[in-house]
A and B are shown apart, each in its own frame.
Chain A
Amino acid sequence: MAQLELFFQTLISGFLLGGLYALIALGMALIMGVMRVINLAHGDLMMVAMYIAYGLFIFLGIDPYVSVFIAAPTLFLFGAGVQKFLLTPVMKVESILPHNQVILTVGLAMVLSNLATVLFTGNYRSVPVKYASSAWYLTDIWKDSPIELSLSMPWTLSFVIAVIITIALWLFLSKTDTGKSIRATAQDFDASLLMGVNVNRMRMLTFGIGSALVACAGCLFVPIYYLYPSLGRQFTNVGFVITVIGGMGSTNGAVIGGLILGIFESMTASYIGMGWAPVGRFAVFVAVLVFLPGGIVSILRKWRLGK
């Protein structure tokens, strides 16, 4: 019974983690889809958002969940600015080395994480919210359940908010004109240019939205995680592993990939060992590259064709 309890506990906490991972990967997948650029500064943008939330909590006492509304617009402007003033000019530069823009985002990541180290020192910090250690139990709801599960309150709350944001993004992309233009740009750049889509504006918007999404994820991570300046790299890795699992630039794939990775990682952590969780992450990555190069999206497409 204890084995089963452990299994379900791991599964559920992996699921919650996966929901948050999906939010990180969504932004990356959007940017990937529209600009064909992997944003290697993604995790560092998240780190910036986390420090914003931290600062707001310490100095003004604003709850991290509320600071989503402050951090996300800030990062939106920042991301749009990066696209406008750094990435767009680089597209015109002719060079021998390909992927100049990817290398540029690496430079950005270096600057952001190092500046954070200089400004906030390398210390690990956490936000002491009151509800940090509260939890709810399965027996609270279902009196005579055979197994006992406990879930931390902030984890659940973060997961629910992440789901709401994901649904909002889905509505934006599928119902509004701007969202449709973004998807058109991702599908076929030249065709959408011919159809009168302002492609450069869409790029700016996409980078902005991607940064805002990862800022939301950062704020949601603040109550449940600790923050330190070089945490960006870890989440950049998570982001691009999920983008590859899901299929390059696909938002549906990113959500499913996020959940898979979350569950897999928490399984490795509880059955093999904490230190091996990153190895598990990359093992999934390599396995997907070798056995399923198109990602989950290729399976989804196959099923649709089968009908």
Chain B
Amino acid sequence: MKKFLPLIIFAILVIVPLMGLSTYTMHLLILVLTWSVIGMAWNILGGYTGQVSFGHAAFFGMGAYTSGMLYLHFGISAWWGLPVSIVVLTALSLIIGYICLRLRGAYFALATLALGEICRVTAENLVKITGGNMGILINERTWVEKTWFFYIILLIAAATYILIRIVIGSKLGYCFVAIREDQDAAESLGIDTTFYKTISLCLSGVLTGIAGAFYMNYMGYIDPSIVFPLFDISIVVVMVVMIGGAATFWGPVIGSIIMVFLAEVIRSLPYIGAAHQTIFGIILILIIIFLPNGIVAGNFFKFLTPWKMKWRQKKASL
């Protein structure tokens, strides 16, 4: 049963648009899937490789701007941004990796944070290329209906999930986890840590960039404060993964479901709505203190552990 769970969920999601849900619900589902992709991408770098990044907005925004600028300057469909952003994001990840991956721990986090801000300020100032704070608007939308957008992001999410499963199950994944657990030990065992960290960063960056390119096509309008913000993207990704569970396959998905719906509910409340970031901040603090490994990681049912242990011992003795 557990083995087929991803397939079952995928099948259910394929049927969902046929059920005639309202446009708003479809929009929320698309957002959930987009955030799942970004969360899973962040999880490769942060959860498995242990390099916490505060700058994923840079990758997201870069993906969005790649497809936006293709439309703006070359007049071709913004959908070309999906394949092109793979190339662009690989290049960007290599540059960022060259600069940041020589740093360890909290300094890496800071460097990525700074690079995210650099991207935002650059996009604001290069008015001729990016349109500055005016942003980029796609005049002719591909579809008005949400159905096809939903299927496309569903495919991207499924592909991301499969890719991560394959990567984490392979030697590559074990190298990532080894680096997370102890970088010096990993290095002394002959793992080229910089090389593997760069691969991890590239994977993470490219997947986030594809999500960004999709976002450009879906929303039809971007500006630097929408796709490069620190709190609304970089930090929310960290929260998505932390709530769901770092270094788990389903954590980012669960986390993004909770975060998207929570954000919608809190924002629609009459007086508290304006203070949604306060509530997010408090939730973040509470998670770090009480649920550091997320819902999926199992600490949620901490009170069950003694029984679980007994059961395991029984099973082992049999």
Contact = CB atoms under 8 A, between A and B. Distances in A.
B275 A115 contact: yes
B277 interface: yes
Given A103-B242, A110-B281, A289 B111 contact: yes
B292 A94 contact: yes
Q: In this complex, which of B103, B114, B276 has the most chain A Cβ atoms within 10 angstroms of its Cβ? A: B114
Interface in A97-111: 97-100, 102-104, 106-111
A90 B246 contact: no
A110 B278 contact: yes
Given A97-B46, A111-B282, A115-B275, A90 B125 contact: no
A143 B52 CA distance: 58
Interface stretch (A144-152, A183-191, A275-283): A275-283
Given A93-B289, A275-B125, A282-B118, A289 B99 contact: yes
B293 A95 contact: yes
Given A38-B110, A118-B274, A111 B281 contact: yes
B105 interface: yes
B33 to A, nearest CB: 23
Contact of A244 (B47, B50, B107): B107
Contacts of A244: 107, 110-111
Given A93-B289, A279-B125, A282-B117, A103 B52 contact: yes
A95 to B, nearest CB: 3
**Chain A contact residues: helix, strand, loop or mixed:** helix
B106 A107 contact: no
Contacts of B180: 96
Given A107-B285, A275-B124, A114 B109 contact: no
A118 B100 CA distance: 36
Contact of B109 (A99, A241, A279): A99
Contacts of B54: 106
Contacts of B122: 279
B17 to A, nearest CB: 35
Contacts of B210: none
Contacts of B107: 244, 248
Interface residues of B, number: 48
Contacts of A102: 52, 106, 109
Contacts of B105: 98-99
A306 interface: no
Nearest to B235: A106
Nearest to A97: B246
Contacts of A273: 125
B297 interface: yes
Q: In this complex, which of B111, B180, B230, B285 has the most chain A Cβ atoms within 10 angstroms of its Cβ? A: B285
B277 A114 contact: yes
Q: In this complex, which of A93, A99, A110, A117 has the most chain B Cβ atoms within 10 angstroms of its Cβ? A: A110
A110 B280 contact: yes
Contacts of B125: 273, 275-276, 279
Interface in B98-135: 99-100, 102-103, 105-107, 109-111, 113-115, 117-118, 121-122, 124-125
Nearest to A275: B125
Contact of A96 (B47, B103, B231): B47
B185 interface: no
B110 to A, nearest CB: 5
B238 interface: yes
A190 to B, nearest CB: 18
B281 A108 contact: yes
Contacts of A107: 280-282, 284-285, 288
Given A97-B246, A110-B231, 4 more contacts: A95-B288, A103-B242, A111-B285, A289-B103
15 contacts: A38-B109, A97-B46, A97-B292, A98-B50, A98-B52, A102-B109, A103-B52, A107-B282, A107-B284, A110-B231, A114-B278, A118-B278, A244-B107, A244-B110, A276-B125
